């Protein structure tokens, strides 16, 4: 059965009174997707997508460094060198012209300009130092090239857009196939899903999300439980490896704090799916609670051995200061044709 027929069948069941549970989705992102953060925000605002779903703002310092590398490569045939002068509160690059004199076998260098990046306010400043007519075109070319790569390095690409969608489905549903590519998103996230569906073609005409409404069928709860069970088992194995006494890690404490947030988010997702699909989640919830308690116990031991005073409220405080979510592996979407877009693999 092709995609169109499957969608029609599911919609017909819902129209006849079957419970609407959510949607199966799959996306296609063009590798040529590239846009500025400002453009993405305007598009998100147009479709009423919460900015919290958008990728993090590009790192301007990294973009500045990358622009130097790209410019140096592009202008290497012009005897132009870009050398770092300082890198304290301000990163400064000098644009230096190298002159070779074969007669006296000497190399002579003259600084044409400098470009600085202030880390405190993320502003850049170009300072031309050679005002001779002879080098004017080279200086203009150097700045134009650097500015082009600086802007290019701050653009959001297909990689960040895929990551944005992956974060969404990690929160809103579960993978429907072991290899990924197709996901079940619960009905409570239909508004966000609609916004994403409208957003993608706005930022590149070849981008799209295909979705299929899912009626209340008996197998959905089994699929959700199996997916969650695999997710919990993967986290358990990761924790066992992290706490292996044969391995020493200076970052163990901070990594454990990160893991606590992962457990809480999966607990929330388990509760959401179990209520929607009406299956008992006691066993999964119990496993997650035990994993979280193991983390708290080890964090307590780490704090004790370093002679840090710990109050009775420490476990609660630890969860409140959790930092960024540790990324869990979701397989990259595989290439599919329209007719097998929702090939469920049964």
In the DSSP assignment, the letter for residue 24 is: E
Question: Which of residues 100 and 49 earns the better pLDDT score?
Answer: 49
Same domain, 37 and 184: yes
User: Is the pLDDT at 183 greater than 80, yes or no?
Assistant: yes
Domain end (from 174, 195, 216): 216
Rounded-to-integer distance, Cα 40 and Cα 90, Å: 29
C-alpha gyration radius of the chain: 27
User: Is the pLDDT at 317 greater than 50, yes or no?
Assistant: no
Rounded to 5°, angle at Cα 316 from 313 and 320: 130
Domain end (from 201, 216, 231): 216
User: Is the pLDDT at 244 greater than 70, yes or no?
Assistant: yes
Task: Please report which confidence band the pLDDT of residue 76 belongs to, taking 50, 70 and 90 as the band edges.
Answer: confident
User: Is the pLDDT at 335 greater than 70, yes or no?
Assistant: no
Domain count of the fold of the chain: 3
Domain end (from 133, 153, 173): 153
The pLDDT score that the predictor gives to residue 344 is 43
Do 283 and 268 meet the contact criterion of CB atoms below 8 Å apart? no
Give the HSE-up count for residue 103: Cα atoms under 13 Å, Cβ half-sphere. Answer: 0
Could you tell me the pTM of the whole model? 0.62
Rounded-to-integer distance, Cα 154 and Cα 97, Å: 28
**Domain around 129:** 60-153
Asked if the structure places residue 337 within a domain, the reply is no
**Cross-sheet strand order for the sheet of 20-28:** 173-175, 183-186, 20-28, 208-215
Asked if the structure places residue 189 within a domain, the reply is yes
């Amino acid at each position: 059965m092709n995609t169109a027929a499957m969608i029609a069948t599911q919609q017909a069941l819902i129209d006849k009174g079957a419970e609407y549970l959510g949607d199966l989705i799959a996306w296609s992102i063009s590798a040529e997707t590239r846009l500025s953060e400002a453009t993405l925000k305007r598009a998100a605002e147009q479709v009423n997508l919460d900015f919290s779903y958008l990728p993090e703002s590009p790192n301007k310092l990294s973009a500045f460094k990358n622009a130097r590398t790209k410019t140096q490569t592009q202008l290497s045939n012009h005897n132009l060198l870009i050398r770092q002068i300082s890198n304290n509160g301000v990163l400064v690059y000098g644009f230096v012209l190298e002159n070779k004199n074969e007669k006296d076998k000497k190399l002579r260098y003259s600084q044409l300009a400098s470009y600085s990046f202030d880390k405190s306010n993320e502003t850049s400043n170009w300072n031309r130092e050679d005002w001779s007519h002879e080098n004017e075109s080279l200086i203009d070319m150097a700045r134009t090239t650097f500015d082009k790569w600086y802007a290019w390095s701050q653009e959001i690409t297909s990689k960040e857009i895929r990551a944005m969608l992956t974060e969404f489905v990690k929160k809103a549903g579960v993978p429907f196939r072991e290899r990924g590519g197709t996901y079940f998103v619960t009905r409570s996230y239909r508004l966000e899903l609609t916004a994403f569906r409208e957003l993608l073609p706005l930022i590149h005409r070849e981008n799209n999300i295909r979705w299929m409404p899912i009626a209340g069928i008996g197998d959905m709860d089994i699929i959700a439980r199996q997916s969650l069970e695999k997710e919990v088992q993967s986290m358990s194995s990761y924790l066992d490896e992290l706490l292996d006494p044969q391995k020493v890690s200076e970052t163990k404490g901070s990594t454990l704090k990160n893991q606590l947030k992962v457990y809480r988010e999966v607990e929330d997702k388990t509760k959401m799916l179990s209520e929607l699909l009406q299956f008992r989640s006691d066993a999964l919830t119990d496993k997650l609670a035990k994993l979280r308690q193991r983390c708290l116990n080890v964090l307590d031991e780490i704090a004790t051995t370093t002679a840090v005073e710990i109050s009775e409220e420490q476990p609660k405080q630890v969860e409140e200061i959790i930092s960024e979510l540790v990324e869990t592996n979701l397989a990259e979407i595989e290439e599919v044709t329209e007719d097998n877009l929702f090939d469920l693999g049964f």
